[in-house]
Chains A and B, each alone.
Chain A
Amino acid sequence: MLDRVGLKFEDIISCVQGNACVEGGLRLPDGLTEEEMVQEWDLIMSRNSTPKKASLMGGGAYMHFVPAVVPHLAGQPGFVTAYTPYQPELSQGTLQSLFEYQSFIVELTDMELSNCSMYDGASSAAEAMLMAHRIKHAPRILAADNVNPAYLATVRTYSEPHGIAIETVPTDESGQVSRAELERLLSAAPCSAVLVQSPNYFGIIEDLTALGNLAHAHDALFVECFTEAMALGLLKYGLGTGADIVVGDAQSLGLPMSFGGPHLGVFATLRKFNREFPGRIVGESVDTEGRQAYVMTLRAREQDIRREKATSNICSNHALNAITAAVYLASVGQDGFRSLACESAAKLQKLVRGLEATGRFSPVFKGGAVFNEMVLASSLAPDELRARLAAVPVIPPLVLPSGMVPGVAGMPHSYLVCASELLKDALLEQVIAALS
């Protein structure tokens, strides 16, 4: 090819010479054929345990039923192999699908504006804190200490270079964030945002309206967070509870857990903050023939135009996962989504009753309402619990570090137990039998 245009490769790369070039090639193995690759992959993946039928483990990643149409449709090459939709004439598929995703998120979170995705719930929460700081300027944020610890850690990472102090608000004996403590901390000094998760890390549903009122009374933005998007089918968020921003992770909407990623960060807010929020957004417009068409809009906030003054550096997001979530929601429909949320909640109740009946488990927080996760104290140590469940095709519950939750007499271990629609009665009975 180079002959045709009169060039030599050595001349082209002469600019590189004189710098430290690789000699003798990279120290990597020879390439594999596709057939060899399949063998090698199989060898490696066989070192994982066999996939299970349901998960008693949640804590930020959830196993749910995924209809066959979801991966089929979201996996279409037109969606998968496209770039960011900079050229709307060639990208109406991505753009309209993202518009539909935004529409669904606006409805489920009950907010006015949704971007077309962030990386995951943790980075969404962190970006929400930076946005609140841009709006309110106070270098202080109050976060419930029962927000998912990995989310809190991410919030701290993002906030640290901006000198934003993250102070935590303790959990009371009911498992909810302490309103008295929140009020005391809000009164102590100005604060840009109050971050609350519901259901919180311990599974307890927070009284968002009451907490939002407190935040607003002290001129802080109220940021609601969720890690289990299935809760959006049963619980109130957003305008109905006074949120300024709703963030969370929507992996539950048709995406596999995939060892923690890629998940789907939800970011929804109020229209009045439409110059302040991070991330991309699709708007409806018309083409030169007057036909309905979609295009990325509110672009002047973004890094490629505003550079160091951008509202965020986010560029690529998790668009394909947003499309997956849109397909999922359209597939299960509004009634199906509600039913799934109820099924997950009811399965947890049934599981907890069964576990309590063994005499080996007891709820740590009494009285607080829960959705599909709950903290149980147990006399069974983690190793024994895991061994007993070895023959049951479920992922065992999450072990909480000692001291994280209050103790229960005679039950020194604590677990965050999760249930979903996949915990069919027959499987649930196997779990109870193994732990009896």
Chain B
Amino acid sequence: MKIQEDARYAKSDEWVRVEGQVAVVGISDYAQEKLGDIVFVGDIAVGSELKAGDLLTSVESVKAASDIYSPVSGKVVEVNSEVVAKPELVNSDAFGAGWLAKIELSNPAEVNSLMSAAEYAEYRKD
């Protein structure tokens, strides 16, 4: 299981990496491994306003479907169209090319309540 050091993590296995006022959101390497081959990433509407914990999208593997929740509050400003066309990017590079959306933070302090890399590694150690 890979862990991205500069990201923070939600209990439902999403990660965020803050770049200025914007948070990049994806699912963790642990989550992609659990799901298996990802075959579909659902639509995310650019411009939608989300609260932390709101449904962001869903991803599907052959044998499972998983809802993905936004770990932070804010407005969706960009969606990774490449991952919609090539869902396998989530498997091959969950923290990089497999990112899902960028969210303009409305409450940057929320990020601090998410787990650090070390805390997440502990949380998901099997």
Residues of chain A touching chain B, judged by Cβ–Cβ distance below 8 Å, are: 275, 299-301, 305-306, 309
Interface residues on B, range: under 10
Q: Which of B40, B42, B63 contacts A305 (CB 8 A)?
A: B63
B64 interface contact, C-beta 8 A: yes
B109 to chain A, nearest CB (A): 32
> Judging by beta carbons under 8 Å apart, are B42 and A300 in contact?
no
**Chain A residues, Cβ within 8 Å of B64:** 300, 305
A132, B68: Cα distance in complex, Å: 23
A395, B65: Cα distance in complex, Å: 51
**Chain B residues, Cβ within 8 Å of A306:** 65
A110, B71: Cα distance in complex, Å: 43
A301, B63: Cα distance in complex, Å: 10
A294 to chain B, nearest CB (A): 15
B61 interface contact, C-beta 8 A: yes
Per the 8 Å Cβ criterion, residues 63-82 of B in contact with A are 63-65
Find the A residue at minimum CB distance from B65. A300
Decide if the interface of chain A is mainly helix, strand, loop or mixed: helix
B1 interface contact, C-beta 8 A: no
A309, B39: Cα distance in complex, Å: 19
A217 to chain B, nearest CB (A): 23
Residues of chain B touching chain A, judged by Cβ–Cβ distance below 8 Å, are: 39-40, 42, 60-65
A286, B11: Cα distance in complex, Å: 37
CB pairs A–B below 8 angstroms (18 shown): A275-B40, A275-B42, A275-B60, A299-B62, A299-B63, A300-B39, A300-B40, A300-B60, A300-B61, A300-B62, A300-B63, A300-B64, A300-B65, A301-B65, A305-B63, A305-B64, A306-B65, A309-B65
**Chain A residues, Cβ within 8 Å of B40:** 275, 300
Nearest 9 A-B pairs (CB), nearest first?
A300-B60, A300-B65, A306-B65, A305-B65, A305-B64, A300-B64, A299-B62, A305-B63, A275-B40
A301, B58: Cα distance in complex, Å: 11
A306, B61: Cα distance in complex, Å: 12
A16, B39: Cα distance in complex, Å: 46
**Chain B residues, Cβ within 8 Å of A305:** 63-65
**Chain B residues, Cβ within 8 Å of A301:** 65
Find the A residue at minimum CB distance from B63. A305
A241 to chain B, nearest CB (A): 27
B12 to chain A, nearest CB (A): 16
B119 to chain A, nearest CB (A): 30
**Chain A residues, Cβ within 8 Å of B63:** 299-300, 305
| Apart from A299-B62, A299-B63, A300-B64, 16 more pairs, CB < 8 Å | A275-B40, A275-B42, A275-B60, A300-B39, A300-B40, A300-B60, A300-B61, A300-B62, A300-B63, A300-B65, A301-B65, A305-B63, A305-B64, A305-B65, A306-B65, A309-B65
